[in-house]
Chains A and B, each alone.
Chain A
Amino acid sequence: MTHSETHRLGMLDSVLGAINLGTIVLDHERRIVVWNDWMRMHSGFAPDAVLGQDFFALFPELAGKRIDGAVQQALRDNFPSVLSQTLHKAPLALFASPAARDSGERMQQAVAVTPLEVAGLPRHCLIQIADVSVAVTRERLLRDQALELRSQTFSDGLTGIANRRHFDVAMEKEVRRAKRAGSPLSLLMIDIDSFKAYNDHYGHQQGDDTLIKVAHALAAMLQRPLDLIARYGGEEFAVILPELDGEHSVMLAEKMRVQIEDLAIPHVQAAGNDRVTVSIGASTHSGSELADIAALLGAADKALYQAKRGGRNRVERHQEA
């Protein structure tokens, strides 16, 4: 052997000892012939304790499992296999640290089992193990954040109920569904009476508090999962009621009006009243082909206007155009 070849072998040995990856090589009879330092560190088994032994005799709990089939496929069929961390969190008993070993908390692993050609010998099998615990935790964090973000962009910052954007999306969906199913769809437009006067008199802070109270009170009255209440404007709310006809939507609107009245939030500047009240305009799409979102909204708006004109703190209904 030349000088450089001797060094090369020693160097490759050092590489195997230094790399941050579990490296196991099995011969054609599944005996361990390479067990690198990473494996020693994280399995608790020193090389001389395992070299020459049948891998599956040493780890009998792995016999018949995915890694067994993977080793077989590498040796017999010459095919590589992967064991994803999603489907197998921790196939081998490996631990990040002695403390983790004591608490029994296994390291999360990504495993690759590949055929290995060795000159002059029958096919061997290479098993590589990566510690993916950090990646797994980070993934989970990112997913939680994404979920959080998603819920935020559809909800109104102040009241926590759906925002206008959510309403628009839901409205489109429900109108389409109603048309396809030939079922009714009702819409309520709810406006807090004399709200500007309320803000002027009590201040915007209290105005916000009242908005929140009213929003929650209204939301609490929605029983069915498909019903949606959204903050449509500054002091305006919209309620989508799928599969509810005109008569029943008006009944619900009336219940809502009473509920707000019963909150008895003092409003000395209210026109014609001493407390916070709402006016409600209701419209219904009967499921025919002709009506659309604009028509439904327009009708509810007209009804709301009628309610205001009619003295506030009341429910009015308008038929679709």
Chain B
Amino acid sequence: MFNLSELQHDALVEIFNIGVGHAAKSMSEIVNEEVTMSVPSISFLNRADAAEMLGNKESSRVCGVSQHYEGAFKTEAILMFPEDKSLDIVRLMVGESVPLKELTEMEQEAMSEIGNIILNSCVGTLANIFAQELSGSLPQYHVGTSEEILSATGANASTVVLMLHIDFILEKHQIHGYVAFVLDLTALHDLQEQVDRYLAKVMGPA
């Protein structure tokens, strides 16, 4: 499996923490409440393990929002919440309670926007810090098992999933979610190169 040095790992975790920090700020402005988000850890997994981590039992459905990015590197980014946490965020932000089955198109749109905010923030921060040019797509909403969603967004046997654990805190509710980046070998290589370049800059002249 793909391995990073401690410093490379630290750099990525820090960059994503900045990304979700910005996203939290945007979301707090929407709900007029304090919103905190952080990325306590990241891991690199193959598709099967990624699906497993998200809970791949037949009965457990997951709600996901994906966006496609390309340019300096190519990836499919997906924000996902396990079934029992799905839409808790929407409900908290909208202030209503509707079970997953009865999710109306409008609440799907709310979830799409939340995904849009978080994913753009993560990838945007990455692109800015690495000084790279990218373009992104509009959010797409998915419901299904984690396996289905990962496949639908291009994860296959030869791709690696960079998984971010996300902690989302609003009104004293703490919700755990994930952001998955589907990366092929080229993208993975690009990522590692960018991290090294960034570290060299950070360490300063030796």
In the complex, A touching B, CB below 8 Å? Answer: yes
Docked-complex contact B106 and A77, CB < 8 angstroms: no
* Shortest 5 CB-CB contacts between residues of A and residues of B: A86-B110, A84-B109, A79-B136, A84-B113, A77-B124
What's the least CB distance linking B88 to chain A, in Å? Answer: 15
A71-94 Cβ-contact flags toward B at 8 Å (1 or 0) = 001000111111111111000000
A84 proximity list for chain B (CB < 8 A): 106, 109-110, 112-113
Docked-complex contact A80 and B30, CB < 8 angstroms: no
Docked-complex contact B104 and A82, CB < 8 angstroms: no
Instruction: Decide yes or no whether B120 CB sits under 8 A from chain A.
Output: yes
Instruction: Decide yes or no whether B127 CB sits under 8 A from chain A.
Output: yes
Residues of B within 8 A of A (CB): 26, 29-30, 71, 90, 93-94, 98, 102, 104-107, 109-110, 112-114, 116-117, 120, 123-124, 127-128, 133-139
Docked-complex contact A78 and B136, CB < 8 angstroms: yes
Docked-complex contact A142 and B112, CB < 8 angstroms: no
A25-64 Cβ-contact flags toward B at 8 Å (1 or 0) = 0000000000000000000000000000000000000001
- Measured in the bound complex, the distance between the Cα atoms of B127 and A146 in whole Å is 45
Q: List 26 A-B residue pairs with CB atoms under 8 Å apart, sorted by A's residue number.
A: A64-B29, A65-B29, A66-B29, A66-B30, A69-B26, A77-B127, A78-B71, A78-B135, A79-B120, A79-B124, A79-B136, A80-B116, A80-B137, A80-B138, A81-B116, A81-B117, A81-B120, A82-B138, A85-B109, A86-B113, A87-B110, A114-B138, A136-B106, A139-B106, A143-B98, A143-B104
Interface majority SS on B: helix, strand, loop or mixed?
A: helix
Given A66-B30, A87-B94, A139-B106, residue A82 in contact with residue B120 (CB < 8 A): no
Docked-complex contact B26 and A79, CB < 8 angstroms: no
A97-132 Cβ-contact flags toward B at 8 Å (1 or 0) = 000000000000010101100000000000000000
- Measured in the bound complex, the distance between the Cα atoms of B99 and A146 in whole Å is 12
What's the least CB distance linking B54 to chain A, in Å? Answer: 24
B110 proximity list for chain A (CB < 8 A): 84, 86-87
**Partner of B94 from A65, A79, A86, A112 at Cβ < 8 Å:** A86
Docked-complex contact A77 and B113, CB < 8 angstroms: no
B93 proximity list for chain A (CB < 8 A): 87
Docked-complex contact A73 and B120, CB < 8 angstroms: yes
Docked-complex contact B124 and A73, CB < 8 angstroms: yes
Residue of A nearest to B107 (CB): A86
Residue of A nearest to B105 (CB): A139
What's the least CB distance linking B133 to chain A, in Å? Answer: 7
B133 proximity list for chain A (CB < 8 A): 78
- Measured in the bound complex, the distance between the Cα atoms of B117 and A64 in whole Å is 15
- Measured in the bound complex, the distance between the Cα atoms of B113 and A86 in whole Å is 9
B138 proximity list for chain A (CB < 8 A): 80, 82, 112, 114
Instruction: List which A228-266 residues lie within 8 A (CB) of chain B.
Output: none
Instruction: List which A257-302 residues lie within 8 A (CB) of chain B.
Output: none
B26 proximity list for chain A (CB < 8 A): 66, 69
Docked-complex contact B120 and A77, CB < 8 angstroms: yes
A112 proximity list for chain B (CB < 8 A): 138
A87 proximity list for chain B (CB < 8 A): 30, 93-94, 110, 113-114
